[in-house]
Structure 1
Amino acid sequence: MLHFNRALFVYNQTAGEDDTHLKLEKTLHIVAQAVDELIVLNTTSEEQLQQACVKYSDQVDLLIILGGDGTVHTCLNSIAPLATRPIIAILPGGTSNDFSRTLGIPQSLNEAATSILNGSIIDTDIGKVGEHYFMNFWGIGLVTETSENINSDEKKRLGSISYVLSTLRTLNRTEPFHYKIQTTDTELEGDAILLFVLNGRYIGTTQLPIASLSPFDGKLDVLIVRDSNLAAFRELFALQNPTVENEQLNELEYIQVTALEIMQPIGNKVDMDGEIYEETAQQITVLPGHLRMIHVNAL
């Protein structure tokens, strides 16, 4: 059983959830069994959350994040640049909770809290883009437009289904863009509706059918979708076979890299872990095993 001397438990009550007190009731008493000293901190803004992560990063053994993908992304970007980083545990408190799924964390909060007692610690890769970091994905095209088109009322009422509805609305009006990517081994160029640099295995609660996709292998996975036709979906599912090579694909491009440069498009908005950023052209690198995280049978 895992045990820690000191832990910080953070949650952000302004992140869109109204039932925070119920989530605390389900988790705190379980988490407390794994920690000698537990600091519980409610942050009321993104800035407070960032400050808390930085302040306690070298004072605790464990950082417990109760929240969704946005809250996890904020915490990641706060502690990733620091020299001393605590072990991270995620309690899925949002709509998709995608990276917690990649880590094998149960989506029931009671079971997720128990995973802090019974889980394992693993060195986990993250992506770095300029001064920003991503845990799950970096994307442009359809994924960015889908995120921007999500209806907040639908998200509150329907949860993860709101992402499906937004995707369907967005598909009809997505315009292709020209891409040019440089890696140490190759250059890719063409037109596409979606470009992903992936680290996690889930997008919008859906597991991607890519056998070699892993946040524990020291690599990032580049997936480019040229069109939204049936052939593209067939090729995507063909990637369940780890022996499929990029040269065998017509509607997709798929490679694994440790670093790449996005040379085109320039000026498109970027989606990182569900958060929208305004810049595109940039270098992306993987930081192998940069964070230690609690997982449940994620290998």
Structure 2
Amino acid sequence: MSQRALLLVNSQSRQGQKRLPEVISCLVQQGFEIIAASTKKPEDFSEVIRRYQHQVDLVIIGGGDGSLNAAVDTLIETNLPLGILPLGTANDLARTLGIPNSLPEASKVIAQGELRHIDLGWVNGKHFFNVASLGLSVKITQRLTKEVKRRWGVFAYAFTALQVIFESRPFSAEIRLNNKSIRVKTVQIAVGNGRYYGGGMAVAPDATIDDQRLDLYSLEIKHWWEIILLLPAMRQGRHIHQSNVRALHGQEIEVYTRKPRPINTDGEITTYTPAHFRVIPQALAVFVPIKSTTVKKDGNPGISGDYF
């Protein structure tokens, strides 16, 4: 008996609408019965999922990290498993899970892969997959328009980041975790649940999306050019070993600032400080490649895209 899937594609994503026929064809070839719901923007995904929740076995989302983030709260609410087709610019969640960019191969993962429960991050009532951050990344998000993404693709993140870095100014914050309070002067605080964000940068070298912890780093630089020197190390998460980067981890973290500062979750601004972060272990079922179990440095199994 074929599974019935609700297909949601972000028509505003870089590849979304023009590849919709190919998407449907790939999924039908894998034996799915497809309900393709048309939406003008990802913000409508939640309403559509609720409408069809009792008529489908799973939800398949074609888009990038922003599209997935738009649906995550409703996926938790309805308890429907998720299939991912990477059609966005960065596709950081797909990269973390080892899901290939090829549509036929990604469709095969949904049909023949295994269902894994992954952790989710949570901040002020909003779930996130990859990273929630404040400071530099928010300014990048504000400047990273749809037009820039369409024109430059994944390189849009690098170009926009370089423009914003020159204008970066430190701000004061208080970080609380494990019954300790730490005051910092920083240009960015990032709290990671998954491994990758921002077009392939790693939160920490050993971060996985099922390790039941949050990884925080704070960029405590004095001069803008210090960020440039950190960029190569950020691709592998090795920046956390530098003297001007503070690295912490825990299951619950609080961040306070003098005035409310916007927080970016998976590339979208969704809340403001003061912020209460926590990890929600094994919160969502997602189809991943069968061989995506890896061994982390501490000897425990984890999910990571590094091995694909």
Which position in structure 2 is the counterpart of 1:7? 5
The letter for the 1-side match of 2:262 is K
Within 1, Cα distance between the matches of 2:64 and 2:237?
28
Matches within 5 A, 1:191-270: 191-208=185-202, 210-227=204-221, 229=226, 232=230, 240=238, 250-270=243-263
The TM-score with structure 2 as length reference comes to: 0.84
SS of residue paired to 1:78? helix
Within 1, Cα distance between the matches of 2:257 and 2:286?
34
Deviations 1:116-168 (A, max 9, x none): 12322111111112221111110001111111122543322111111111100
Matches within 5 A, 1:83-162: 84-162=78-156
Within 1, Cα distance between the matches of 2:204 and 2:120?
18
Question: In the alignment, which of 29, 33, 36 is matched to residue 37 of structure 1?
Answer: 33
For structure 1, which segment, 101-110 or 51-60, has the greater mean C-alpha deviation from structure 2 after superposition? Answer: 51-60
The alpha-carbon deviation at position 35 of structure 1 amounts to: 4.8
For the aligned residue pairs, the C-alpha RMSD in angstroms reads: 2.6
Within 1, Cα distance between the matches of 2:179 and 2:43?
40
The answer as to whether partners of 2:66 and 2:267 remain within 8 angstroms in 1 is: yes
Within 1, Cα distance between the matches of 2:197 and 2:96?
10
Question: In the alignment, which of 31, 44, 48 is matched to residue 44 of structure 2?
Answer: 48
Within 2, Cα distance between the matches of 1:37 and 1:237?
39
Q: 1:166 to 1:51 in 2, by over 3 A?
A: same
Within 2, Cα distance between the matches of 1:210 and 1:45?
32
The alpha-carbon deviation at position 33 of structure 1 amounts to: 4.4
Q: How many residue pairs were aligned?
A: 288
The letter for the 2-side match of 1:28 is I
Which position in structure 2 is the counterpart of 1:284? 277
The alpha-carbon deviation at position 278 of structure 1 amounts to: 4.9
Within 2, Cα distance between the matches of 1:152 and 1:78?
24
Deviations 1:244-288 (A, max 9, x none): xx8x75211112211111122531111111101351212111110
Structure 1 residue ranges (4+ consecutive) displaced by more than 4 angstroms after TM superposition: 16-19, 33-36, 230-241
The answer as to whether partners of 1:63 and 1:86 remain within 8 angstroms in 2 is: yes
Within 1, Cα distance between the matches of 2:5 and 2:85?
14
The letter for the 2-side match of 1:219 is R
Within 2, Cα distance between the matches of 1:16 and 1:235?
29
SS of residue paired to 1:210? coil
Within 2, Cα distance between the matches of 1:236 and 1:45?
31
Q: 1:237 to 1:47 in 2, by over 3 A?
A: closer
Matches within 5 A, 1:16-31: 16-17=13-14, 20-21=17-18, 23-31=19-27
Within 2, Cα distance between the matches of 1:251 and 1:132?
30
The answer as to whether partners of 2:72 and 2:128 remain within 8 angstroms in 1 is: yes
The letter for the 1-side match of 2:8 is V
SS of residue paired to 1:254? strand
Aligned-residue sequence identity (percent) comes to: 26
Deviations 1:26-54 (A, max 9, x none): 32233224455321211124453220122
Gaps of 5+ in 1: none
